[in-house]
Amino acid sequence: MAQRNTKCDEPASAGIEDLAGRLANLSETDRVATRLLLRKQAAVRPLVGFLLAGPSLHPDPRRNAAELLGLLGGDEAREGLIEGLTLLDREIASPVLRLSEEAVAEAVAKALTRFPPPLVVPPLRAAFRRHRLVGAAEALAALGDEGALEDVARALEDDFKRWRLLDVLRGFDSSATAAVRRVLAECDSLPDSVLLRKRQAACRRFLAERGASQLEPQ
């Protein structure tokens, strides 16, 4: 009588979940990633589960999961990544953990650039508005979306994110110039504050860099 092959009798999904969990071992990343890609759509659900677990102190394993979901594609991967944009909606008391989750969310945003813009632009815009997630702004720029440019210009008051946001604006031509002008004009109706002055200064520097005036051309 033939011996029972217990390895083959294991549920396939359990095996893939174990494989996805091995992304946590960075010394195995390349080998595990290759094996997961070979599983194609069967790997998507375990990868989404791994991505959404946390928060975690080290972002790289879950960033790798986001990248793999982008490569695998499909509706389930896209929806899992979109859910990943909500990681920062959770209450995270530790600043270190929050920075780690932000790094994961940025990897999620980048992975979403592999999908059709109409399906991913709205959640990317929402993620930027909620959390000023710079990776979401960069993803929108990569997709050629201009709808968040005013939000990007308003976020120039942030000392830590300003330079990356300026690079986003530099990726557009007249649309970015017009958006910055509009934001600068609306500043006049807002109460004075340190952050407002920083926003104004950054907008003016951007326009000067482009040789543009602060006023809309007549």
What pLDDT, in 10s, does the model give residues 72-108? 999 999 999 999 999 999 888 899 999 999 999 999 9
Nearest Cα to Cα of residue 156 among 178, 184, 135: 184
Q: How far apart are CA 103 and CA 93, in angstroms?
A: 16
Domain match, 109 and 156 both = no
Q: How far apart are CA 63 and CA 66, in angstroms?
A: 5
Structural domain includes residue 4: no
Domain match, 98 and 154 both = no
Structural domain includes residue 6: no
The whole model's pTM is what? 0.87
Q: How far apart are CA 209 and CA 146, in angstroms?
A: 20
Q: How many domains does the chain have?
A: 2
Domain match, 109 and 206 both = no
Tell me phi and psi for residue 30, to 5 degrees: -60, -45
Domain match, 87 and 152 both = no
Q: How far apart are CA 112 and CA 48, in angstroms?
A: 13
Contacts of 1 (CB under 8 A, 6+ apart): none
Amino acid at 211: G
Structural domain includes residue 124: no
Structural domain includes residue 128: no
Structural domain includes residue 138: no
Structural domain includes residue 126: no
Domain match, 89 and 152 both = no
Q: How far apart are CA 67 and CA 47, in angstroms?
A: 10
Domain that residue 61 falls in:
11-116
Nearest Cα to Cα of residue 109 among 121, 97, 100: 121
Nearest Cα to Cα of residue 82 among 35, 115, 59: 115
Domain match, 103 and 164 both = no
Q: How far is CA 140 from CA 51, 60, 65, 181, 206, in A?
A: 21, 22, 21, 20, 19
Residue pointed to by tokens 């709808």: 147
Structural domain includes residue 140: no
Q: How far apart are CA 106 and CA 134, in angstroms?
A: 7
Domain match, 104 and 159 both = no
Domain match, 190 and 108 both = no
Angle at 103 between CA 85 and CA 146, to 5 degrees: 55
Domain match, 102 and 36 both = yes
Structural domain includes residue 46: yes
Instruction: Show which of 99, 116, 133 is a domain's final residue.
Output: 116
Domain match, 191 and 110 both = no
pLDDT digit string (tens) for the chain, length 218 residues: 344 443 443 345 558 888 999 999 989 999 999 999 999 999 999 999 999 997 889 999 999 999 999 999 999 999 999 999 999 998 888 999 999 999 999 999 999 999 999 999 999 999 999 999 999 999 999 999 999 999 999 999 999 999 999 999 999 989 999 999 999 999 888 899 999 999 999 999 999 998 866 655 54
N-to-C CA span, the chain:
90
